[in-house]
C-alpha cells in the first residue's frame, strides 16, 4: 500500500470511528438524569469522565500512531517544547476570544429548528440540561482540593484528550489527504463542536475549535493547542467554582438574556484573535524556528 492510499485509509478509519461514537451516544435514551448529591457518586462521575476520555480519545490516537504512522508519536507534533511566545499567544487568543464566545452563545440560544423537527430540538434541549446538571454537580465541593481536581479532570484531561483526537489526529489526517489546510481546520472544528451534542452551544465551540486549529497549524506544536484549550477550560472552571451559587439552572433560566452582546463587539473580538494569529505567524517567519518534531 503506497503512502497516499495509506493516508486515505487512515482518514476513513478515523471518520468511521467518529461516526461509530456519534451513533452510540445518540442511541442513548433521552430521559432526564438526576443530579447526584452524594460526594462518592460525584467522585465516581469524575473518575468515569477521565476513563471515558482516555478510552474514547487517548487510546485510539495512541494505537493509530503506533500502527498507522511510521513516525509514530512524532506525527502528533508533541516531541518539542513550544516557544514561550507561542504559549503566551495561545492564552491571549483565548482571552480576546471571550466576548466573541459569549456573543455567539447568546445568538445560538435564539436559533431554533423548523417546527417539524420539534422532537429533535426537545431531545437536544434535554441533553444540554442533563450535561449542565452533571457539570454543576462537579462543583459541589467548594474546597481548594475540589477546584484542583476539577481543573485536572475537566480542564487538563479534557484539553489533552480532545486536542489529541480532533487536532492532532483528525485535522492532521485531513491535511495529509491533501485537504486545504483552512478547510481541514474548519471541518475538524465542526466535528469537534458537533461531538459535544450541545446544539445551543455549537457556534461558540465551533469558533474556539477554529482558533485551536489555527494555533496548532501555525506553530506545528500540539502543546500550544492543548495549552489554549486548558486555559479556556480553566477560566470557565474557576468562574463556576467561585460563582456557581449565582448560576441559574437552564430549566429556570430567563427566556431572554439580561444584556445582549453587540455584533460590533463580537467582530472586534474576532479581529483581535485573528491579529494574534497573524503576529504569531510573522514571529515564526522572522525567527525561522526549526520544526518541533
Q: What does the pLDDT read at residue 73?
A: 84
Q: What does the pLDDT read at residue 247?
A: 53
Is the pLDDT at 186 greater than 60? The verdict is yes
Report pLDDT digits (tens) over 243-292: 866 554 544 444 444 456 788 999 999 999 999 999 999 999 998 755 55
Asked whether residue 292 is assigned to any structural domain, the reply reads no
Domain count, the chain: 1
Asked whether residue 135 is assigned to any structural domain, the reply reads yes
Report pLDDT digits (tens) over 210-225: 999 999 999 999 999 9
Q: What does the pLDDT read at residue 121?
A: 76
- Give which of 199, 177, 175, 197 is closest to 186, Cα–Cα: 175
pTM (2 d.p.): 0.89
Per-residue burial over 210-225, b if 16 or more Cβ lie within 10 Å, else e, is bbbbbbbbbbbbbbbb
Asked whether residue 11 is assigned to any structural domain, the reply reads yes
Q: What does the pLDDT read at residue 79?
A: 86
CA torsion through residues 149, 103, 125, 247, sign: positive
Is the pLDDT at 91 greater than 90? The verdict is yes
More confidently predicted of 139 and 30: 139
What is the span of the domain harbouring residue 190? 3-287
Residues 206 and 175: their CA atoms lie apart, in Å, by: 19
Asked whether residue 126 is assigned to any structural domain, the reply reads yes
More confidently predicted of 197 and 108: 108
Asked whether residue 293 is assigned to any structural domain, the reply reads no
Report pLDDT digits (tens) over 117-176: 777 778 777 777 777 888 888 898 889 999 999 999 999 999 999 999 999 999 999 999
Amino acid at each position: 500500500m503506497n503512502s497516499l492510499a495509506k493516508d486515505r485509509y487512515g482518514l476513513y478509519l478515523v471518520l468511521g470511528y467518529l461516526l461509530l461514537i456519534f451513533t452510540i451516544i445518540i442511541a442513548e435514551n433521552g430521559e432526564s438524569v438526576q443530579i447526584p448529591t452524594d460526594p462518592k457518586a460525584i467522585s465516581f462521575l469524575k473518575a468515569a469522565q477521565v476513563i471515558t476520555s482516555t478510552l474514547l480519545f487517548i487510546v485510539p490516537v495512541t494505537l493509530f500512531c503506533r500502527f498507522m504512522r511510521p513516525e509514530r508519536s512524532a506525527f502528533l507534533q508533541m516531541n518539542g517544547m513550544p516557544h514561550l511566545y507561542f504559549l503566551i499567544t495561545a492564552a491571549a487568543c483565548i482571552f480576546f476570544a471571550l466576548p466573541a464566545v459569549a456573543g455567539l452563545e447568546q445568538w445560538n440560544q435564539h436559533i431554533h429548528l423548523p417546527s417539524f423537527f420539534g422532537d429533535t430540538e426537545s431531545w437536544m434541549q434535554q441533553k444540554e440540561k442533563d450535561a449542565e446538571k452533571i457539570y454543576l454537580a462537579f462543583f459541589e465541593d467548594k474546597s481548594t482540593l475540589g477546584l484542583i481536581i476539577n481543573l485536572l479532570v475537566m480542564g487538563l484531561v479534557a484539553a489533552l484528550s480532545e486536542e489529541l483526537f480532533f487536532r492532532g489526529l483528525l485535522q492532521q489526517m485531513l491535511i495529509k489527504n491533501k485537504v486545504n489546510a483552512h478547510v481541514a481546520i474548519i471541518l475538524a472544528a465542526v466535528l469537534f463542536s458537533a461531538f459535544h451534542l450541545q446544539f445551543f452551544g455549537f457556534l461558540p465551540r465551533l469558533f474556539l475549535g477554529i482558533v485551536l486549529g489555527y494555533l496548532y497549524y501555525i506553530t506545528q506544536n500540539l502543546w500550544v493547542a492543548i495549552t489554549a484549550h486548558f486555559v479556556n477550560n480553566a477560566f470557565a472552571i474557576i468562574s463556576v467554582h467561585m460563582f456557581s451559587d449565582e448560576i441559574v439552572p437552564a430549566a429556570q433560566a430567563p427566556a431572554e438574556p439580561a444584556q445582549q452582546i453587540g455584533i460590533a463587539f463580537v467582530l472586534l473580538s474576532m479581529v483581535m484573535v485573528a491579529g494574534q494569529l497573524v503576529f504569531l505567524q510573522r514571529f515564526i517567519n522572522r525567527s525561522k524556528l526549526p520544526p518541533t518534531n
